[in-house]
């Protein structure tokens, strides 16, 4: 894919734009202090994230009707509270904690990199997060999108190729005019199957210090960047 062919850039969000793990651990620790309990909060965050993946797979496999990510997170949270022995949370506390996923910090390069890319392209998230989650998260993190796109608008979850194609169509574009950016090979392979260009951004800290980072093969995708500023450099979007 030549940079001149690109009219819009779609971004995966969890892990690619925002550091979900540190943010969820921080909110869980705060909750634990309020309740006076100590748990393995990093493991809790990882389990919550795993439940999200499992919930989406069930929807795409036809085992469940459509559920938003907020709903999947909530069902998973209730199961994890039982599993970890976290009791005494009121309904408002559960609802607020579930929305920790609406309050995730961006990676340090993300906002500046997005601003540079926005000067040359339409930029939008294309995330499995639902519209409410993505809108609140983007406001919290100061993400300067041109619009917000979500799998919720398609009724299928990434990496189903239909999601990428439908999002391009919604912006009046051909798949080949759109670059998908993600830190995860599976997401980019779905985009490739949908006809989009791909940019892999390495996020070696996404899964925390205990898990060795296994980067993707740089030859598999159209671009391979170490962060969003580096991607802007490669696309010729100079520092303003």
**Shorter beta-carbon distance to its own copies: residue 172 or 215:** 172
Considering the complex, state which of residue 7 and residue 189 has its C-beta at the smaller distance from its own copies: 7
CB of 206 to its own copies, least distance (A): 25
CB of 84 to its own copies, least distance (A): 26
Given the complex with its own copies, which of 46 and 70 has the nearer CB atom? 70
Shortest distance (Å) from residue 131 CB to its own copies:
5
Q: Which is nearer to its own copies, 34 or 172 (CB)?
A: 172
Q: Which residues bind its own copies (CB under 8 A)?
A: 70, 122, 124, 130-136, 138-139, 145-148, 152-153, 170-173
By the 10 Å C-beta count (0-12 exposed, 13-18 middle, 19+ buried), 90 is classed as: exposed
Cβ 148 to its own copies shortest distance, Å: 4
**How many Å apart are CA 240 and CA 234, to the nearest integer?**
15
CA atoms of 112 and 240, how far apart (whole Å): 10
SS (H, E, C) 63-117: CCCCCCHHHHHHHHHHHHHHHHCCCCCCHHHHHHHHHHHHCCCECCCHHHHHHHH
């Amino acid at each position: 894919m030549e940079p001149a062919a690109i009219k819009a850039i779609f971004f995966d969000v969890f892990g690619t734009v925002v550091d979900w793990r540190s943010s969820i651990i921080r909110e869980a620790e705060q909750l634990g202090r309020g309740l006076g309990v100590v748990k393995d909060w990093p493991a809790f965050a990882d389990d919550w994230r795993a439940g999200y993946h499992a919930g989406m797979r069930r929807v795409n496999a036809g085992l469940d009707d459509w559920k938003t990510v907020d709903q999947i997170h909530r069902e998973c949270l209730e199961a994890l509270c039982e599993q970890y022995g976290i009791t005494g949370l009121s309904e408002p506390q559960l609802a607020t904690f579930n929305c920790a996923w609406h309050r995730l910090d961006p990676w340090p390069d993300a906002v500046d990199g997005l601003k540079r890319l926005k000067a040359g392209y339409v930029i939008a998230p294309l995330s499995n997060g639902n519209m409410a989650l993505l809108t609140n998260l983007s406001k919290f993190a100061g993400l300067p999108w041109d619009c917000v796109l979500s799998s919720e608008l398609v009724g299928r979850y990434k990496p189903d190729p239909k999601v990428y194609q439908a999002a391009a169509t919604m912006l009046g574009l051909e798949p080949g005019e759109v670059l998908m950016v993600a830190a995860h090979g599976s997401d980019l392979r779905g985009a490739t199957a949908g006809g989009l260009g791909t940019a892999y951004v390495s996020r070696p800290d996404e899964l925390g210090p205990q898990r060795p980072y296994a980067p993707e093969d740089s030859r598999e995708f159209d671009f391979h960047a170490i962060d969003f500023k580096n991607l802007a450099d490669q696309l010729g979007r100079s520092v303003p």
